[in-house]
A and B are shown apart, each in its own frame.
Chain A
Amino acid sequence: MLVLISDKIKIKLSFVSGVIFWTLFTSSIIYSLFIQNYNLSVSFSSLFPKVCLTGFILSVFSYYRFIITKVDTFNFIDLLWKVFITGLVTTLISLALRFFLSVFANSTLVENPITINFFYCILIGLVMIYMISTFMVWKKLILYQKSKKLLRLWQFFELVLLASYFFDFLEVKLGEPRFNFILVLLAISSIMLIFNLKWIAYLNFKQKWKSMLFILLSAIYLYGFSKNLLQFSNTDSLIIDLFDRSFIWGMYGFLLFYAIISILVILFNLPTSSVFEKTLKEALDFQKLSQSIPRGETKNQTYEFLLDSSMSAVFATAAWLEIKEDTKISKVIRNLKEKDILKIKSTLNGSIIKSILDLELTYKINSGKFIHKLKHPQYKSIVALPILIQGNQVGFIALLSEVSNAFNPEMINIITTFVNQASISLENLSLVQESIENERYKEQLKIAKNVQKSLLPTKLINNDYLTMAAFSMAADEVGGDYYDILEYQKNKFGLIIADVSGKGTSAAFQMALMKGIFHSLGTQGVTPKDFNKKANTALSQCLELQVFITATYFDIDSEKNILHFSRAGHCPSLYYCKKENTVNYLNADGMGLGMLRNISYHNYVHSKTLKYEEEDALLLYTDGITEARNRKGEQFGSERLKKSFASHAFKLAEGIKEGIKTDLSTFIEEVVIDDDYTLVIIQFKKTTKKWLK
């Protein structure tokens, strides 16, 4: 249940219970005074006020626990400010009480124990509020960047403090050995704690001054409270005297000592804080630099930032930066004129630093060489660092000082990290641009692939006389394998398989060429021999010298069941004869298209004719199939292909295709075929009636 209550409600509850306990405590004190004064025979336990006080203290603890400890802020100045304000308010109230008492000094009202005790109760409330709030803030400061050991020590301290509180119920007076024992225990544990001052290191110069002031004031408040309490303690009319309590002593001592130690440590840290601040700024600059490009800043903003942070890091009075970008050189200049730059460059003639300034650094040099003296009326020393991207000097940063020997190797280290970070940012930027280029290139390849795919027939012939199945795969995005079929007259077909030498995008373009030739010659119903002759003439005009195309052209007459073909250097097709149950290569002499680019090519063109029968099949393929290799480097080869075809030839065209594909992939296992490969199966289904007669 308690867990479910929000922190806000817990704070309110603590506040209300604090008020109630304090009221109960005060009234019980006054009540017991009445009993004392009038000697009433009422039994009133002396324990009751103590219990109420305990309740009050616990409420205040819980209140500040939620207000201070639970807040996830490490703004130390804010925390100290809270202590300061609480102290101010409580001190002002206690001063008002003191003022009231001194105004009415010697009057009966003021000398009345009831008034004194009532005022004392108010003071107790104020002191407890102030001490506990300060205690909580000190706790937060001590436990900043806590270790497990420190946390245990703190828990021990709190435990001793708690023990001391209940010890006070025993009414042991100040000065007794048992009392002193507890005090010593508290002192030891506080001393071990108060030197945890890590938070101070994170303050800048201004913050240190502020914290010192706040802590000093909190210590003064503490002192004021102790004086105030002491005055009451001396009146001898108190029912409960806080000074009889080891708990108060322990807490008071802890708070005061921590305040004093903090002030001293801050004081001694003041001179070094500028160094720390500088390092912190450098670290932040470094971070900014590394984020500048991803943040979408332009190159120039990065240059400017690099120059400015480097300047402030080495106290340079003037500086400039030059970076090669494509053809031009971009410059950023600070507190300098162009003619100064030329003058400085001319005075450095012959030194290594000059080669840096001329962007001509070709080898790695010792960073000590980056610093140089200057013979210039205004500037006495220079440091110049090359900016390298992928080992090449693309620019430099030059920093000038009016003092001679102004730069030291540590400074170079700092600027080097700046420069390196900037180079990385710039490199990243160019990588991003490169990958965009790449993306664009891939996009274009994709388009080429789509174009190439559209060159292959989308609809295969599938009628009463012929069924066809085909499969084609490119090694690269685009390939150079081509097959196609067209019906140039009723039941008369032109069929081609072709393979452009080489692979890739250029091969795909030659393939488009081949398609043009096939569709212009094929529709005219030319003979296979004429097809190859004319294709060779056409291609001789436009193919690159190294490129040739192998092809086999078939003329199928499905009325007469005649297959007529001419092979132009393409790997021989396989023929399955159902009647004899044999598979054979269709060998015929021939030469690749574009290999011989004159009329003598005609001498090498031959053709063959054969008559086919029902369920005979023809397998066209490209050398990607036979040259596919397994991991041992063995080729699939024409013999394996022949066997594979034979074992699947009884199936339908689609089944033959799948069967050969499976055999091939079993053979090569997971090796990727590094060539375009194509399979085309033509199955002769039915012989025509004419022929049957």
Chain B
Amino acid sequence: MAEINSENINEIHFIHINGEIDAQTSIYLDNALKNAVISNEKKIIVDLLRLEYISSAGLGVFISYLDEFKIQDICMVLFGISEKVKHVFDILGLNKLLTIVETKEQAIDSFA
């Protein structure tokens, strides 16, 4: 079960993730990121405050956009990551490839 909502506030594209991202629901995450790329968003903030669990398939979605974002000069920042999810990111080494901050404000500031 997962719910993913996107919104645009002050030229920043927000993606809010609720629930669990597994092999099935990772498709929604993929769609959300794909839409952001298509609509030419350059500043993306992913809100993980209510993300309970993310499987390797879900992480794979983030990873699959890394190159694309670099080429298109898109900046993506994640915030609100829980201790458990952070642990998964760290083990995988994903923390070194993604910009992860603690709060929404920090995320917004990072674009300044």
Contact = CB atoms under 8 A, between A and B. Distances in A.
Interface in B65-100: 66-67, 91-94, 96-97
Given A503-B23, A545-B64, A546-B64, A569 B57 contact: no
B23 A595 contact: no
Given A499-B56, A596-B66, A597-B67, A546 B93 contact: no
A590 interface: yes
Interface of A: 499, 501-504, 544-548, 550, 569-572, 589-592, 594-597, 604, 623, 675
Given A502-B56, A503-B23, A623-B56, A546 B63 contact: yes
Q: Do most interface residues of chain B lie in helix, strand or loop, or is the interface mixed?
A: helix
Given A502-B60, A597-B67, A592 B96 contact: no
Interface centre among B23, B64, B91, B96 (most CB of A within 10 A): B91
A502 B66 CA distance: 19
Contacts of A503: 23
B56 A501 contact: yes
Nearest to B26: A546
B92 A591 contact: yes
Contact of B93 (A590, A623, A675): A590
Contacts of B91: 550, 569-572
Contacts of A596: 66, 97
Q: Which 6 A-B pairs have the closest CB atoms?
A: A591-B93, A501-B56, A545-B64, A546-B60, A546-B64, A569-B92
8 contacts: A546-B30, A546-B63, A548-B63, A569-B93, A570-B91, A591-B96, A596-B97, A597-B67
Contacts of B61: 546
A595 B67 contact: no
Contacts of A589: 93
A592 B97 CA distance: 11
Contact of A548 (B23, B60, B67): B60
Given A548-B63, A596-B97, A502 B57 contact: yes
A560 to B, nearest CB: 29
Interface in B28-83: 30, 55-57, 59-61, 63-64, 66-67
A75 B60 CA distance: 77
A507 to B, nearest CB: 10
A597 B59 CA distance: 16
A503 B24 CA distance: 11
Contacts of A623: 56
Contacts of A569: 91-94
Interface of B: 23, 30, 55-57, 59-61, 63-64, 66-67, 91-94, 96-97
A483 to B, nearest CB: 17
A502 B23 contact: yes
A592 B92 CA distance: 6
B27 to A, nearest CB: 10
B61 to A, nearest CB: 6
B93 A501 contact: no
A592 B63 CA distance: 10
Contacts of A595: 63, 66, 92-94, 97
A605 B73 CA distance: 26
Nearest to B87: A638
Contacts of B30: 546
A50 B97 CA distance: 120
Nearest to A545: B64
B93 to A, nearest CB: 3
Given A592-B93, A595-B66, 8 more contacts: A501-B59, A503-B23, A550-B92, A569-B93, A591-B93, A595-B63, A595-B93, A595-B94
Contacts of B55: 675
A589 to B, nearest CB: 7
A595 B93 CA distance: 9
Contacts of B57: 501-502, 546
A51 B31 CA distance: 104
A519 B76 CA distance: 38
Contacts of B63: 545-546, 548, 592, 594-595
Nearest to A544: B64
A676 B90 CA distance: 21
B75 to A, nearest CB: 18
Contacts of A546: 30, 57, 60-61, 63-64
A404 B79 CA distance: 77
B3 to A, nearest CB: 18
Contacts of B59: 501, 548
Contacts of A675: 55
Nearest to B63: A595
A127 B60 CA distance: 101
A502 B54 CA distance: 11
Nearest to B95: A591
Nearest to B92: A569
Contacts of A544: 64
Interface centre among A502, A544, A570 (most CB of B within 10 A): A502
Contacts of A604: 93, 96
A615 B70 CA distance: 49
A665 to B, nearest CB: 22
Contacts of A570: 91
A604 B61 CA distance: 20
A594 B60 CA distance: 10
A204 to B, nearest CB: 62
A501 B88 CA distance: 13
B95 to A, nearest CB: 10
A499 B66 CA distance: 21
Contacts of B94: 569, 591-592, 595
A548 B83 CA distance: 23
A571 B92 CA distance: 8
Contacts of A572: 91
Nearest to A638: B87
Nearest to B23: A502
B89 to A, nearest CB: 10
B99 to A, nearest CB: 15
Nearest to B90: A589
A503 B23 CA distance: 8
